[in-house]
Structure 1
């Protein structure tokens, strides 16, 4: 199944995934009026500050029945305790534990219908089994200007994460 080409690590060589970050930003602006970047059509330097952020958790997955992550900020990689290659090879449903997956799926269907949902709260699990609660997350459909759906994205601050102690 790994024949699928996965995105490379964000770097100067790929302009920090500028095209993808611009798509995330443009979708967010059109759906919610809020922005990810300081200006539309931001340059690679501004995209670099998003990709390498250790305080902003931004993740996205593609389309399909069982979508795979295709982007994560450094804060997200740290939170899920994965490197880039592992993260962008992970089915996004696996970011939640089995009991949480049905609720997560229903929530994502709601986002699909509404375009976005703000103030999402949910429990996720890291690669090593650390459970954490996310609050105040904004989740939205990633859409091209022609309305082609490219996936979904989620954004929250690392300060809105609480680790759950068993």
Structure 2
């Protein structure tokens, strides 16, 4: 079963987001049985998640993310997440990762990303959080990208 239709994975995304950020990932007026489908098919913002591998690979990307990055599900879920973005300088990246590790999340991130065809675009106001289950196990990281703009 692909993760976009896996109720347990949706709960991990939604619960870890709510626990760390104190707000829901999906609007509360959407019925719980429709929430996973809404996030994948209809959300007006991009959501991506990667695993905990040494070179993390995307394990989830909703349709908004797939359209913006130019990959379909099969392609993006084989892509190392580092290949979707221009590498920020090491010091800036290290500070960012330390904040996420310390706080469990970081909001307001912006950076340059790259589509499948090599086009560059800016992500703005992104929020990255740790995918931590109720037992405290880390499963990866996820990001919500509410806005992008062409460069």
| TM-score (ref. length: structure 1) | 0.81
* Alignment partner of 2:88 out of 92, 97, 100: 100
- For residues 121-132 of structure 1, the aligned pairs below 5 Å read 121-132=110-121
Corresponding residue SS for 2:42: coil
CA RMSD of aligned residues (A): 2.0
Question: What's the counterpart of residue 145 of structure 1?
Answer: 134
Unmatched segments (≥5 aa) in structure 1:
1-6, 11-15
2:63 to 74, 80, 85: 74
Instruction: List per-residue Cα deviations over 1:55-90 (Å, max 9, x = no partner).
Output: 210000010211110001100000110010000000
* 1:89 counterpart SS class: coil
> Residues of 2 paired with 1:114 and 1:91: CA distance?
24
**How far apart, in 2, do the equivalents of 1:59 and 1:101 lie?**
22
What is the match of residue 21 of structure 1? 10
What is the number of residues matched between the two proteins?
148
Q: 1:46 to 1:127 in 2, by over 3 A?
A: same
Which aligned runs of 4 or more in structure 1 are off by greater than 6 angstroms? none
Gaps of at least 5 residues in structure 2 are none
Provide closer, same or farther for how the CA distance between residues 25 and 162 of structure 1 changes in structure 2, counting only shifts above 3 A.
same
Q: Distance in 1 between matches of 2:75 and 2:13?
A: 21
**Preserved CA contact (<8 Å) 1:93 1:101:** no
| Alignment partner, residue 42 of structure 1 | 32
The question of 1:154 aligning with 2:148 is answered no
Query: What CA distance in whole angstroms lies between the structure 2 residues aligned with 1:69 and 1:101?
Result: 22
